[in-house]
Amino acid sequence: MNNEFDDLQRKWQKNKEQIRNEPMAMDTMLAAVTKKKASTIRFQYGNIVVLLITLVVISLFFYYIAPVQQILSRIGVGLMIGGLFLRIIIEFISIIKSKKVDIVNNVLSTTQETINYYNFRKRIHGPITVIIILLYTIGFYMITPEFSLYFSTWQMILINTSYIIAAAIFIPIIRKSVKQEVKTLHEIIELKEKIIAESVS
Protein backbone atom coordinates (compact mmCIF):
# COMPACT_ATOMS: atom_id res chain seq x y z
CA MET A 1 0.00 0.00 0.00
CA ASN A 2 2.90 2.35 0.82
CA ASN A 3 4.42 2.11 -2.66
CA GLU A 4 1.09 2.88 -4.26
CA PHE A 5 0.65 5.80 -1.93
CA ASP A 6 4.14 7.08 -2.75
CA ASP A 7 3.14 7.00 -6.43
CA LEU A 8 0.05 9.03 -5.65
CA GLN A 9 2.14 11.49 -3.69
CA ARG A 10 4.56 11.90 -6.61
CA LYS A 11 1.65 12.45 -8.98
CA TRP A 12 0.20 14.98 -6.56
CA GLN A 13 3.46 16.93 -6.32
CA LYS A 14 3.84 16.86 -10.12
CA ASN A 15 0.39 18.37 -10.56
CA LYS A 16 1.28 21.06 -8.06
CA GLU A 17 4.41 21.95 -10.00
CA GLN A 18 2.29 22.35 -13.14
CA ILE A 19 0.11 24.88 -11.33
CA ARG A 20 3.18 26.68 -9.96
CA ASN A 21 4.57 27.00 -13.47
CA GLU A 22 1.62 29.05 -14.64
CA PRO A 23 2.51 32.49 -13.24
CA MET A 24 0.07 34.17 -15.62
CA ALA A 25 -2.80 32.16 -14.14
CA MET A 26 -1.63 33.07 -10.62
CA ASP A 27 -1.67 36.79 -11.43
CA THR A 28 -5.09 36.56 -13.04
CA MET A 29 -6.46 34.73 -10.01
CA LEU A 30 -5.00 37.37 -7.65
CA ALA A 31 -6.77 40.08 -9.66
CA ALA A 32 -10.05 38.15 -9.40
CA VAL A 33 -9.61 37.70 -5.61
CA THR A 34 -9.06 41.44 -5.15
CA LYS A 35 -12.20 42.18 -7.15
CA LYS A 36 -14.32 39.65 -5.28
CA LYS A 37 -13.36 40.92 -1.79
CA ALA A 38 -15.57 43.98 -2.20
CA SER A 39 -18.64 42.07 -3.43
CA THR A 40 -18.45 39.70 -0.42
CA ILE A 41 -18.73 42.61 2.01
CA ARG A 42 -21.59 44.13 0.00
CA PHE A 43 -23.49 40.81 0.10
CA GLN A 44 -23.24 40.52 3.90
CA TYR A 45 -24.87 43.88 4.59
CA GLY A 46 -27.26 43.75 1.61
CA ASN A 47 -30.17 42.33 3.63
CA ILE A 48 -29.88 45.03 6.28
CA VAL A 49 -29.77 47.78 3.68
CA VAL A 50 -32.94 46.45 1.98
CA LEU A 51 -34.75 46.19 5.35
CA LEU A 52 -33.60 49.68 6.40
CA ILE A 53 -34.85 51.17 3.12
CA THR A 54 -38.22 49.43 3.63
CA LEU A 55 -38.38 50.78 7.19
CA VAL A 56 -37.62 54.33 6.06
CA VAL A 57 -40.13 54.17 3.17
CA ILE A 58 -42.92 52.85 5.44
CA SER A 59 -42.14 55.42 8.13
CA LEU A 60 -42.14 58.29 5.60
CA PHE A 61 -45.37 56.97 4.06
CA PHE A 62 -47.19 57.01 7.40
CA TYR A 63 -45.70 60.35 8.41
CA TYR A 64 -46.17 62.40 5.25
CA ILE A 65 -48.58 60.63 2.88
CA ALA A 66 -50.99 58.75 5.13
CA PRO A 67 -50.73 60.09 8.69
CA VAL A 68 -53.33 57.92 10.42
CA GLN A 69 -55.48 59.55 13.13
CA GLN A 70 -57.15 56.76 15.10
CA ILE A 71 -55.38 55.16 18.07
CA LEU A 72 -56.01 51.66 16.69
CA SER A 73 -54.31 52.61 13.40
CA ARG A 74 -51.39 54.24 15.19
CA ILE A 75 -50.83 51.07 17.23
CA GLY A 76 -51.02 49.15 13.93
CA VAL A 77 -48.33 51.35 12.36
CA GLY A 78 -46.25 50.89 15.50
CA LEU A 79 -46.55 47.11 15.24
CA MET A 80 -45.58 47.11 11.56
CA ILE A 81 -42.57 49.38 12.06
CA GLY A 82 -41.66 47.63 15.33
CA GLY A 83 -41.68 44.22 13.61
CA LEU A 84 -39.36 45.48 10.87
CA PHE A 85 -37.09 47.15 13.41
CA LEU A 86 -36.88 43.92 15.41
CA ARG A 87 -35.96 42.06 12.21
CA ILE A 88 -33.13 44.56 11.48
CA ILE A 89 -31.75 44.15 15.03
CA ILE A 90 -31.82 40.37 14.59
CA GLU A 91 -29.97 40.65 11.26
CA PHE A 92 -27.26 42.69 13.01
CA ILE A 93 -26.97 40.11 15.81
CA SER A 94 -26.84 37.39 13.18
CA ILE A 95 -23.89 39.07 11.43
CA ILE A 96 -22.10 39.49 14.77
CA LYS A 97 -22.70 35.79 15.56
CA SER A 98 -21.52 34.71 12.11
CA LYS A 99 -18.30 36.67 12.64
CA LYS A 100 -17.69 34.58 15.77
CA VAL A 101 -17.25 31.54 13.53
CA ASP A 102 -13.49 31.85 13.35
CA ILE A 103 -12.14 30.13 10.29
CA VAL A 104 -8.62 30.42 11.69
CA ASN A 105 -9.39 27.95 14.50
CA ASN A 106 -8.98 24.21 14.15
CA VAL A 107 -11.70 22.34 12.28
CA LEU A 108 -13.32 20.92 15.41
CA SER A 109 -13.66 24.35 17.07
CA THR A 110 -14.87 26.01 13.87
CA THR A 111 -17.43 23.25 13.40
CA GLN A 112 -18.70 23.77 16.96
CA GLU A 113 -18.91 27.55 16.43
CA THR A 114 -20.84 26.93 13.19
CA ILE A 115 -23.25 24.64 15.06
CA ASN A 116 -23.80 27.41 17.65
CA TYR A 117 -24.48 29.91 14.86
CA TYR A 118 -27.00 27.68 13.10
CA ASN A 119 -28.70 26.87 16.43
CA PHE A 120 -29.15 30.62 16.87
CA ARG A 121 -30.57 30.88 13.33
CA LYS A 122 -32.93 28.00 14.11
CA ARG A 123 -34.22 29.86 17.17
CA ILE A 124 -34.77 33.03 15.11
CA HIS A 125 -36.53 31.19 12.33
CA GLY A 126 -38.80 29.37 14.68
CA PRO A 127 -40.85 31.52 17.07
CA ILE A 128 -39.23 34.90 16.40
CA THR A 129 -39.92 35.02 12.63
CA VAL A 130 -43.49 33.86 13.23
CA ILE A 131 -43.94 36.62 15.86
CA ILE A 132 -42.55 39.26 13.49
CA ILE A 133 -44.84 38.17 10.63
CA LEU A 134 -47.81 38.11 13.04
CA LEU A 135 -46.96 41.58 14.40
CA TYR A 136 -46.73 42.93 10.87
CA THR A 137 -49.99 41.30 9.78
CA ILE A 138 -51.92 42.34 12.89
CA GLY A 139 -50.54 45.88 12.46
CA PHE A 140 -51.61 45.92 8.81
CA TYR A 141 -55.18 44.82 9.59
CA MET A 142 -55.42 47.34 12.46
CA ILE A 143 -54.91 50.13 9.94
CA THR A 144 -57.46 48.89 7.42
CA PRO A 145 -60.59 50.14 9.32
CA GLU A 146 -59.32 53.73 9.13
CA PHE A 147 -58.09 53.25 5.55
CA SER A 148 -61.58 52.11 4.57
CA LEU A 149 -62.82 55.61 5.49
CA TYR A 150 -60.57 57.20 2.85
CA PHE A 151 -60.48 54.52 0.16
CA SER A 152 -63.26 53.06 -1.96
CA THR A 153 -64.34 49.43 -1.48
CA TRP A 154 -62.55 48.19 -4.60
CA GLN A 155 -59.36 49.97 -3.53
CA MET A 156 -59.61 48.25 -0.14
CA ILE A 157 -60.11 44.89 -1.85
CA LEU A 158 -57.01 45.62 -3.94
CA ILE A 159 -54.94 46.52 -0.84
CA ASN A 160 -56.06 43.41 1.07
CA THR A 161 -55.60 41.10 -1.91
CA SER A 162 -52.11 42.41 -2.60
CA TYR A 163 -51.16 41.75 1.03
CA ILE A 164 -52.44 38.17 0.82
CA ILE A 165 -50.61 37.62 -2.50
CA ALA A 166 -47.38 39.01 -1.02
CA ALA A 167 -47.78 36.68 1.98
CA ALA A 168 -48.48 33.72 -0.33
CA ILE A 169 -45.23 34.48 -2.20
CA PHE A 170 -42.97 35.23 0.75
CA ILE A 171 -44.08 32.61 3.31
CA PRO A 172 -43.04 29.61 1.14
CA ILE A 173 -39.69 31.34 0.40
CA ILE A 174 -39.09 31.86 4.14
CA ARG A 175 -40.13 28.24 4.87
CA LYS A 176 -37.75 26.93 2.20
CA SER A 177 -34.84 28.91 3.62
CA VAL A 178 -35.67 27.71 7.17
CA LYS A 179 -35.72 24.08 5.99
CA GLN A 180 -32.39 24.60 4.21
CA GLU A 181 -30.75 26.04 7.32
CA VAL A 182 -32.07 23.23 9.54
CA LYS A 183 -30.69 20.72 6.98
CA THR A 184 -27.35 22.53 7.07
CA LEU A 185 -27.34 22.35 10.86
CA HIS A 186 -27.81 18.58 10.72
CA GLU A 187 -25.01 18.28 8.16
CA ILE A 188 -22.58 20.15 10.40
CA ILE A 189 -23.56 18.12 13.45
CA GLU A 190 -22.95 14.99 11.36
CA LEU A 191 -19.55 16.35 10.27
CA LYS A 192 -18.56 16.98 13.88
CA GLU A 193 -19.64 13.46 14.84
CA LYS A 194 -17.50 12.08 12.01
CA ILE A 195 -14.43 13.99 13.17
CA ILE A 196 -14.86 12.83 16.76
CA ALA A 197 -16.39 9.37 16.33
CA GLU A 198 -13.70 7.85 14.17
CA SER A 199 -10.96 9.38 16.22
CA VAL A 200 -12.06 7.71 19.46
CA SER A 201 -13.10 4.37 18.00
Interface with other proteins, residue 116, by CB under 8 A: no
157-186 residues in contact with other proteins (CB under 8 A) are 177, 180, 184
First and final C-alpha spacing in the chain: 23
Q: Distance between CA 32 and CA 35 in Å, rounded? A: 5
Q: Are 51 and 87 in contact (CB under 8 A)?
A: yes
Contact between 161 and 94 under an 8 Å Cβ cutoff? The reply is: no
Distance in Å, CB of 51 to other proteins, minimum: 17
Instruction: State which of residues 119, 126, 182, 191 lies at the interface with other proteins (CB under 8 A).
Output: 191
Q: Name every residue whose Cβ is closer than 8 Å to that of residue 44 and which is 6 or more positions away in sequence.
A: 95
Tell me: does residue 199 bind other proteins (CB under 8 A): yes
Dist CA 45 CA 72 (whole Å): 34
Binding-site size, other proteins (CB under 8 A): 53
* 106 interacts with other proteins by CB under 8 A: yes
The CA distances from residue 122 to 92, 113, 119, in Å, are 16, 14, 5
Nearest approach, Cβ of residue 161 and other proteins (Å): 29
| Candidate list 100, 123, 175, 194; residue touching other proteins; CB under 8 A | 194
> Are 76 and 139 spatial neighbours (Cβ–Cβ below 8 Å)?
yes
Instruction: Give yes or no for residue 198 binding other proteins (CB under 8 A).
Output: yes
Residues that bind other proteins (CB under 8 A): 1, 4-5, 8-9, 11-12, 15-20, 22, 24-26, 28-33, 35-37, 39-40, 43, 101-111, 114, 177, 180, 184, 187-188, 191, 194-196, 198-200
